[in-house]
Amino acid sequence: MITYRKFNFNEDYSVLKEFFHHYWGEENAPTPDRLPSDGVVADDDQLGVVGCVFLYTTSNSGMAILGFPVLNPKLSKDRGIVIRKMIEMAEFIARYNGYVYMNTWSGTDSIKKHLEESNYKVADSGVSHYIKRL
């Protein structure tokens, strides 16, 4: 059975770091200083942590950002259900805190499919995502 809960950095980051390294490589994996404290974690009775998505918020706009959705590479069943449920939970948290819009991006076909099935609209295409450490 899969359950969902709030992200706890001390308990969850070391496991999620392994997932990040698997998908993005060590040099591209999000480091602790790039992750917010708000996130939704999926736990499986047998595998433990099987996924997480992060919620970036602002104090002066109605927009929250959904970031770094990641799944345990060993999770073979229910991957789509887990992604959709984590997105729904993040939306609930954002809505509860007064946010009106959720923004996100993805180059992963399966994530894009689930976003579109959750009524996200493509706002722009053919763009590159840039980041710079200040």
Mind giving me the DSSP string for the chain? Answer: -EEEEE--HHHHHHHHHHHHHHHH-TTTSPPGGG--S-EEEEEETTTEEEEEEEEE--SSSSEEEEEEEEE-TT--SSHHHHHHHHHHHHHHHHHHTT--EEE-----HHHHHHHHHTT------S--------
Per the structure, the complete domain to which residue 48 belongs is given by 2-117
**Would you state the pLDDT for residue 83?**
92
CATH of residue 13's domain is 3.40.630.30
Judge whether 28 lies within some domain: yes
Q: Strand 101-103's sheet: what is its strand order?
A: 2-6, 39-44, 48-56, 63-71, 101-103
Q: Provide the domain count of the chain.
A: 1
Judge whether 128 lies within some domain: no
Judge whether 31 lies within some domain: yes
Among 9, 5, 64, CA closest to 34 = 9
> Are β-strands 101-103 and 63-71 bridged in parallel, bridged antiparallel, or unpaired?
parallel
Return the amino acid letter for 11: E
Judge whether 123 lies within some domain: no
Judge whether 11 lies within some domain: yes
Judge whether 65 lies within some domain: yes
Judge whether 134 lies within some domain: no
Judge whether 57 lies within some domain: yes
pTM for the full predicted model: 0.88
φ and ψ at residue 46, rounded to 5 degrees: -95, -40
**Average pLDDT per 10 consecutive residues for the chain, totaling 134 residues:** 93 92 87 90 94 92 92 91 94 94 89 90 84 71
φ and ψ at residue 80, rounded to 5 degrees: -65, -40
Ramachandran quadrant class, 128 (left: phi over 0; alpha: psi -120 to 50; beta: rest): beta
**Would you state the pLDDT for residue 76?**
87
Among 46, 48, 55, 57, CA closest to 16 = 48
